[in-house]
Structure 1
Amino acid sequence: MAARPLVARQPNERLQALIQEAGCSNAGLARRVNMCGAEHGLDLRYDKTSVARWLRGQQPRGRAPGIIAEALGRKLGRTVTIDEIGMANGKNLASGVGMQFSPTVLGAIEQVCELWRSDVGRRDFLGGTTVAASALVEPSRDWLITGPDAQVARSAGARVGLSDVAAVRATTDAIVELDHRYGSGHVRPVVVHYLNSVVSGLLAGSYRESVGRELFAAVARLTELAGYMAVDTGQAGLAQRYYIQALRLAQAAGDRAYGGYVLAASMSHLAAQLGNPREIAQLARAAQEGARGQVPPRAEAMFQAAEARGHALLGDVRASQAAAVRARDALEQAEARPDSGDDPHWITHFDRAYLADELAHCHRDLGEPEQARQQAEEALRGLPEERVRRRAIATLLLATAQVQQRDVEAACHTGTRAVELLGRLRSNRGTEYLDDFQQRLEPYREEPVVREFNARLEVYAA
């Protein structure tokens, strides 16, 4: 019987070109892929022979293509997609949804609407991918160098007016209040369905130039909020997609100030959560540079506070302190003119309490517990009772400072108050702060007050 002919594989020229661009040997790439996989809990054991097989056209299974793309992206300092390494099948190609800063307004509409559709469909690839540092920084570079969109008006579809824009903004305000009180786990599904079923139709409608700019601004805000809610429900890979699209929508709105906010308040905080301190400072500085002369002092204070957090995580006391001083100065300037009308709606929440919360993080990360305690207490004095998640986080920052000061009894009592607040929320962010606090208590686990606190936690978890 004649042997069945083998199907010839095509050499993977895309992967070969990227390996050459990165200056990697086959063995070097294999090591990088194995290390990257280990960070994601995968026991990969590739070697130079494995890479040679990939170059001959063999497709590795499972999550390996994404890990290979991430490893090459780290070496190249930019986002590398699975398609770029020549390993995209239908699902993997789709995993690029929401990851691009589109060069055109039409492309931006198509991309963000596809993201919403995919999110409503609960497609696994959206949240299952990891966040590479370059995936956060590269869109900021696109935003910095991209000129304004000359035109956003459309003449196809149902007429969209300012009343429609007002409805999007009112919906956003209502959702924000619910999110503050109850956490994103309760309200995020509502946001995503609203974006997909209502807002997508508005973007595809007919609107004149002035209405279009206002529409893109309103949708950018709600898209950013959906990204934050993805963070708060433990979906960092999904959050980055929403943040990239919010940045692009802000560009279409012609709103450089809000684009800076997305970088400094959203992407940089995501980088902080993921432990990428250099990217935090980079994103904050990109916000400052790209929105220079177009933001009020209150927004400038937030941008500087974000930079301070990045430097603190890097252990750079002097740079962190300098950015913190600039943040305080900018906020004092804003509060000296409370009736100026300079502040857009999206930055009015950044007050002394919010700044104190940011600085408490800085002092915690710099190992300065007394200053961290003072700032956390100031934050709690100023935060409204309805800001339940923010108060829970500030309370845990205070408890952490008390642990750092070795006042374990006070820390446990403070931590108990935080647990009570968290019991009213569905918030992954709050849970992460609680986990960090519990780890800091570990050296004192045999003390009676810690045993009692841990017992309370078991009841809370149940």
Structure 2
Amino acid sequence: MAPNHLLRNLLTESGWTGQKLANHTNDVGAEAGLRLRYDRTSIAHWLSGARPRPPVPELVAEAFTRCLGRRITTADAGLTPATAVAPPPSWRADIVTELRKLCRDGAAHRRTISGCVYSLAALSLPGWGDLATAGVTARPADHGGRLERADVDAAQTMLELFSAADLTFGGGYVRPALARYLQTTIAPWLRLDAAPAVRTDALITAAQLSYLCGFLCFDDELHGVAQRYYLIAARLSHDAGDALHYAISLRALSVQARMLGHRTQAVDLATTAARALPVHAPPLTRAFLTGQVAAAEAAAAEQHHAVTHLRAAEAYLERACDTTPPVGTYHPAALSHHHAAVHACLGDRGAAVSALTQSLRHRPEAERRARAITLARLAELHLDAGELDRACDAWSKFLDEYPYLRSQRAETALATLRSCLRPHTAYAPARSVTHKAAELYRARAA
């Protein structure tokens, strides 16, 4: 085997040791649902010419991309032949083919679809104004049928059903069924002849369903797959000429980036999304996007801007009189959750606790998953403040909701609960909650 000089050059440029590269590779893998344990010995093997199996080369390339601030390919790292590297995805690529392939690969159990790499390079998306002259992607028509208004109405009903099921039971229950629906029904429809108004509404509905499938993957902590669904939703929104749903897709990418710690990208995406909103956008949607701008800015330590946008989100929500849509839901509980995120980032734990408590008070009964995740976060804040009894109470309520959910975020919250309470099991309330959590964990694993 020939030594991998390209990989060594990237290590030198980044200033990383072999162990540092191993750690970052493991971290990027965790975002893709992989549990990796690479160390400096593994890197030494790669430097000597060994090539790890996919998707590890993609993980290494993404780690260097984040560090160096430019796109690094697997070939740049010497981990695949140059001829094996696919060109970066083009905005002009056939979106129907891309959607069908993603749905086929992303419909199975989460263990079989982990490894799709989350990419910072993919977040360099244009503003809506920059897309105005890009035109709509042409698609070969399937002359075997015609798309009618009734078909689009049916798809909207399915969107509402999938969305309601997700809110109550979590993404794990809904994701495989929605992916198959997109693959077998929605994607083929996009090639059928249709009246212009019907085609536009079909594209918007397809974008909404893709967005929702992305969120289900996000809930299952499959971030690479989620990102690809969000990008498809943005593409479909563009093809429909719909700036509002393009903005909503960019907001979703901002939420994901913030949760993964990519703060600069989260702010850029959130502000680009807000600017993309058309003048006729309803106040509810403006609140939905502006609240995320505030949360992203708070995470990036832009305190003044965060507070200003949080107040703007409040004002927009006060003016909202439109009904809550299946995609882009926003209400007082969601606003309070944004308050909590901003205050937590600004170091005001008391205000964050108060906001989460208010969020729970306003949370609609059907939104079980959001209520559970909020309770888990509230418990962590109480524990950080040394309020063990309150933390145990919140975690106990979280455990009441947990059995109804199939959500990797809920699984992560359960693991955090067990880890945080382990040092406190001598205290009876903590011991009781820990025992309850262990029983639920065993029941889920059986």
Give the TM interval when normalised to the shorter protein.
0.7 to 0.9
3-state DSSP of counterpart to 1:200: helix
Structure 2 CA distance for partners of 1:113 and 1:276, relative to 1, 3 Å = same
Please name the residue that 1:128 is paired with.
115
The Cα offsets for residues 61-91 of structure 1, whole Å up to 9 and x where unpaired, read as 555422342134224535545477675589x
Partner letter of residue 311 of structure 1?
Answer: E
The Cα offsets for residues 150-182 of structure 1, whole Å up to 9 and x where unpaired, read as 576864332111211111111111111111222
What percentage of aligned pairs have identical amino acids? 23
3-state DSSP of counterpart to 1:350: coil
The answer on 1:448 being equivalent to 2:428 is yes
Q: Which has the larger radius of gyration?
A: 1
Identify the match of residue 89 of structure 2 among 100, 103, 106: 100
3-state DSSP of counterpart to 1:128: coil
Please name the residue that 1:77 is paired with.
69
Alpha carbons 1:30, 1:47 under 8 Å: kept: no
Q: Counterparts of 1:387 and 1:153 in 2: how far apart (Å)?
A: 38
Structure 2 CA distance for partners of 1:411 and 1:62, relative to 1, 3 Å = same
Please name the residue that 2:20 is paired with.
35
The answer on 1:203 being equivalent to 2:190 is yes
Q: Counterparts of 1:420 and 1:81 in 2: how far apart (Å)?
A: 46
The answer on 1:162 being equivalent to 2:149 is yes
3-state DSSP of counterpart to 1:141: coil
Structure 2 CA distance for partners of 1:435 and 1:294, relative to 1, 3 Å = farther
Q: Counterparts of 1:75 and 1:323 in 2: how far apart (Å)?
A: 30
Please name the residue that 1:280 is paired with.
266
Alpha carbons 1:70, 1:132 under 8 Å: kept: yes
Please name the residue that 1:217 is paired with.
204
The Cα offsets for residues 282-329 of structure 1, whole Å up to 9 and x where unpaired, read as 211110122253522221212221122223323443332222112112
Please name the residue that 2:34 is paired with.
none
Structure 2 CA distance for partners of 1:34 and 1:215, relative to 1, 3 Å = farther
Please name the residue that 2:309 is paired with.
323
Please name the residue that 2:392 is paired with.
412
Structure 2 CA distance for partners of 1:162 and 1:435, relative to 1, 3 Å = same
The Cα offsets for residues 359-382 of structure 1, whole Å up to 9 and x where unpaired, read as 222223333222122212221222
Identify the match of residue 116 of structure 1 among 72, 79, 103: 103
Q: Counterparts of 1:28 and 1:362 in 2: how far apart (Å)?
A: 36
Root mean square deviation of aligned Cα: 3.5
Q: Counterparts of 2:142 and 2:374 in 1: how far apart (Å)?
A: 48
Q: Counterparts of 1:461 and 1:122 in 2: how far apart (Å)?
A: 19
Structure 2 CA distance for partners of 1:312 and 1:214, relative to 1, 3 Å = same
Identify the match of residue 175 of structure 1 among 162, 166, 177: 162
Q: Counterparts of 1:439 and 1:364 in 2: how far apart (Å)?
A: 21
Alpha carbons 1:116, 1:192 under 8 Å: kept: yes
Q: Counterparts of 1:199 and 1:83 in 2: how far apart (Å)?
A: 36
The answer on 1:141 being equivalent to 2:126 is yes
More off after superposition, 184-193 vs 448-457: 448-457
**Structure 1 residue ranges without an equivalent (≥5):** 1-7
Q: Give the 5 Å matches for 1:212-291.
A: 212-264=199-251, 266-291=252-277
**Structure 2 residue ranges without an equivalent (≥5):** 27-36
* Cα displacement (A) at 1:398: 2.9
Structure 2 CA distance for partners of 1:188 and 1:150, relative to 1, 3 Å = closer
Please name the residue that 2:412 is paired with.
432
More off after superposition, 286-295 vs 370-379: 286-295
Structure 2 CA distance for partners of 1:302 and 1:149, relative to 1, 3 Å = same
The answer on 1:354 being equivalent to 2:339 is no
Partner letter of residue 66 of structure 1?
Answer: E
Alpha carbons 1:357, 1:376 under 8 Å: kept: yes
TM-score (norm 1): 0.81
Q: Counterparts of 1:285 and 1:298 in 2: how far apart (Å)?
A: 17
Alpha carbons 1:100, 1:244 under 8 Å: kept: no
Please name the residue that 1:378 is paired with.
358
Partner letter of residue 191 of structure 1?
Answer: L
Q: Counterparts of 1:373 and 1:29 in 2: how far apart (Å)?
A: 40
More off after superposition, 358-367 vs 370-379: 358-367
Structure 2 CA distance for partners of 1:84 and 1:248, relative to 1, 3 Å = farther
The answer on 1:314 being equivalent to 2:300 is yes
Please name the residue that 2:378 is paired with.
398
The Cα offsets for residues 375-407 of structure 1, whole Å up to 9 and x where unpaired, read as 122212222211111111222233233223322
Q: Counterparts of 1:64 and 1:146 in 2: how far apart (Å)?
A: 34
Alpha carbons 1:271, 1:280 under 8 Å: kept: yes
